[in-house]
Structure 1
Amino acid sequence: MPTTITPAHITDLPRLLADHPRYWGDRDLRALHLRALVQEFPDTCLTARAEDGIRGYLIGFVTPVGTGYVHLVAVRDDARGTGLGRELYAAFGEAARAQGAVRLKAITSTGNAGSIAFHRSLGFDVSVVDDYNGPGEPMVVFTRTLA
């Protein structure tokens, strides 16, 4: 089924949150779906739409120092393995570059093997940063230079 990647709309958030388990399984990340990010960074918050609804999305922004930061990226359970996550990252990279980004960055928990493998497959450098989220809270940090 063909998808079109377009900017997210604030009206997409209630639908995404209602279908949260289809994107995130048992992980409850609803609190990370910040309305302000979609409101303030419309060109770098993206949805992959198809006839059957939103198949994936990416919420990100560009920092003042030229980093395109991916806050969340998710693909609906029935669209995994189709390359949609790669497409979302490619579209985000283009949007971030248009806003002056020279690198991309994302983070995940140290136990998220799927995310680590996915980001490695996209060519990201992977490192564990101790105390990233506070004392005793290491995170995996992904970085990649934009071509």
Structure 2
Amino acid sequence: MIGSMAPRIVPADVTDIQRVLADHSRYWGGRDLRGLHLMALVHEFGSTCLVARDEDGIRGYLIGFVTPDRTGYVHLVATRDDARGTGLGRALYGAFTDAARRQGAVRLKAITTVGNEGSVAFHRGLGFDVRVEEEYNGPGRPRVVFSRTL
């Protein structure tokens, strides 16, 4: 990684997510996912929304929460273009897993679009089961669903 210290993973606040959105393409490339960055999630689930920060800013982040049925759901996770391949995404998932367990989570879940092979490979590498749910997002709108028991 660039910089002298490894990023610290800490709870996110709204200002952190606003900084990410101001530099959105460094995390998401050409995909415009700004509309998925719901500030209410950060306000209401702050202990499971995380940023990885070092002296060069926010290297990566994860927005997640624990559902009433004790599922730790990862809504978004991204690493900045200069932090990819460093293990930071895996570290964010590890920190989220710890936070979700503290809230009683017994499983993890995330979704992605069909065809997002990078996300599928990443989640498989973390031990997730992978399946396509044809109607997950409505008629004719399938999603890949990742799940893993804790």
Distance 1:16 1:36 in 2: 16
Shift of 1:14: 1.6
Structure 2 unmatched runs, 5+: none
Partner of 1:25: 29
TM-score (norm 1): 0.98
Distance 1:60 1:128 in 2: 21
Distance 1:118 1:55 in 2: 17
Partner of 2:80: 76
Partner of 2:126: 122
Distance 2:105 2:84 in 1: 28
- Superposed counterparts of 1:1-147, under 5 Å: 1-146=5-150
Shift of 1:13: 1.8
Shift of 1:11: 1.0
Give the alignment's Cα RMSD to 1 decimal. 0.5
What is the aligned residue count? 146
Structure 1 unmatched runs, 5+: none
Distance 2:85 2:47 in 1: 25
Distance 1:66 1:13 in 2: 25
Distance 2:110 2:100 in 1: 13
